[in-house]
């Protein structure tokens, strides 16, 4: 938890993945705190800077930029877009952070079992690397982001939404809540050298047909989730232009949803934030426009 008596005015927090879903929300929130934020991007000019937010170029293909970006940083938030370069890139930044004397890393990982499925296996490799370091860290393991439903927007509008998730239960978390938990972990003054993991979920589980029911109420028209086999869904994804890697990732998610692998509900978000986690209905309500015809 945040030690309100700690002097954070000089605290320098580097944020990797600052232009991503979680990173962007985190930078916006930290900008209101008495800290200096260094937002990292391959394209630093895309970052909106201010008195408390500075931008720095960090390009994993240019390792010197990583060490430079870590100079003077006290804490690091580590997020990286899903990519087959993720393991090498995150470990390179961890190396730079350890070399530069960063005291605590908050790493965005994923909730899920040890498995060969990407990206879970990638996160396991990065977490295992972190575990062998002399550095404090907090691993954030969120369930699937509710923003995943962004992919359903056009199909719902066109009445073609479906997949291979069946009636499986999944707990979906709002990525804004993940960002707020990351902020708490980054500002924690009490256990800097601690190595810990937080399992983060939304307040309840849903099935895809239940999401369709909620959308039907909100849109005031019938929305259905069409049940497909994996082979049917694969063919549709490939035909719509998804790469093999993205198709496999999406089919992997459908499988995990169908089998209820991410159906665990934890109270960690509300324990740390002092308010309930945002619900799927709240996210659908905030994002309803995209589901309309």
**Omega before 162 within 30 of 0, i.e. cis:** no
| Residue 82 in contact with ligand NAP, rule: CB under 6 A | yes
Instruction: Specify whether the CB–CB gap between 36 and 11 falls below 8 A.
Output: yes
Count of residues touching ligand NAP (by CB under 6 A):
25
The answer to the question of residue 43 lying near ligand NAP (CB under 6 A) is yes
Q: Which of 23, 163, 168, 203 binds ligand NAP (CB under 6 A)?
A: 23
- As given in the structure block, the two tokens for residue 132 are 């062998």
The count of residues in the chain is 293
Angstrom distance (rounded) from CA 80 to CA 225: 31
Which helix H or strand E contains 246, and what residues bound it? helix 244-258
By CB under 6 A, name the one of 27, 30, 60, 208 that touches ligand NAP.
60
Is 75 one of the binding residues for ligand NAP (CB under 6 A)? no
CB nearer to ligand NAP: give 119 or 202.
119
Nearest distance from residue 5's CB to ligand NAP, in Å? Answer: 31
Task: Write the interaction track for ligand NAP spanning residues 1-20; mark x where CB under 6 A is met and - where it is not.
Answer: ----------------xxxx
d(Cα 139, Cα 142) in Å, to the nearest integer? 10
Tally of CB atoms within 10 A around 222: 10
The mark string for 93-122 relative to ligand NAP (x by CB under 6 A, - otherwise) is ---------------x-x--------x---
Query: Could you tell me the smallest distance in angstroms from the CB atom of residue 79 to ligand NAP?
Result: 4
**Taking phi first (over 0 means left), then psi (-120 to 50 degrees means alpha), and beta for anything else, what does residue 117 get?**
beta
The answer to whether residue 270 forms part of the interface with ligand NAP (CB under 6 A) is no
Residues 134-163 that bind ligand NAP (CB under 6 A): 142, 144-145, 148
What interhelical angle do 120-131 and 86-100 show, nearest 10? 20
Q: Which residue number, 21 or 75, has a Cβ lying nearer to ligand NAP?
A: 21
Name the strand (E) or helix (H) holding 106.
strand 104-108
Which of 63, 72, 81, 222 is in the footprint of ligand NAP by CB under 6 A?
81
Between 35 and 139, name the residue whose CB sits nearer to ligand NAP. Answer: 139
3-state secondary structure of 269: helix
Q: How far apart are CA 87 and CA 11, in angstroms?
A: 28
Residues that bind ligand NAP (CB under 6 A): 17-23, 41-43, 60, 79-83, 85, 89, 108, 110, 119, 142, 144-145, 148
């Amino acid at each position: 938890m945040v030690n309100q008596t700690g002097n954070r005015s000089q605290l320098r927090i580097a944020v990797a993945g600052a232009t991503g879903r979680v990173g962007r929300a985190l930078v916006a929130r930290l900008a209101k705190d008495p800290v200096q934020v260094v937002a990292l991007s391959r394209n630093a000019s895309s970052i909106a800077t201010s008195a408390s937010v500075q931008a720095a170029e960090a390009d994993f293909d240019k390792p010197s930029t990583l060490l430079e970006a870590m100079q003077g940083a006290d804490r690091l938030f580590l997020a990286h877009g899903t990519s087959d370069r993720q393991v090498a890139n995150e470990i390179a930044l961890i190396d730079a952070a350890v070399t530069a004397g960063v005291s605590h890393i908050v790493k965005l990982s994923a909730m899920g079992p040890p498995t060969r499925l990407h990206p879970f296996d990638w996160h396991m490799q990065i977490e295992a690397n972190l575990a062998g370091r002399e550095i404090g860290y907090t691993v954030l393991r969120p369930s699937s982001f509710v923003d995943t439903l962004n992919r359903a927007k056009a199909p719902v509008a066109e009445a073609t939404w479906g997949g291979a998730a069946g009636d499986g239960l999944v707990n979906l978390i709002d990525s804004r809540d993940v960002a707020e938990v990351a902020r708490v972990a980054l500002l924690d003054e009490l256990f800097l050298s601690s190595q810990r993991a937080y399992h983060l979920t939304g307040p309840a589980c849903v099935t895809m047909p239940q999401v369709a029911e909620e959308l039907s109420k909100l849109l005031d028209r019938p929305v259905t989730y069409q049940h497909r086999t994996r082979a049917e869904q694969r063919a549709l994804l490939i035909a719509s232009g998804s790469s093999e890697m993205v198709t496999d990732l999406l089919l992997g998610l459908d499988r995990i949803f169908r089998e209820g692998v991410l159906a665990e509900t934890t109270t960690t978000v509300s324990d740390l934030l002092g308010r309930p986690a945002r619900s799927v209905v709240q996210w659908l309500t905030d994002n309803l426009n995209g589901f309309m015809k």
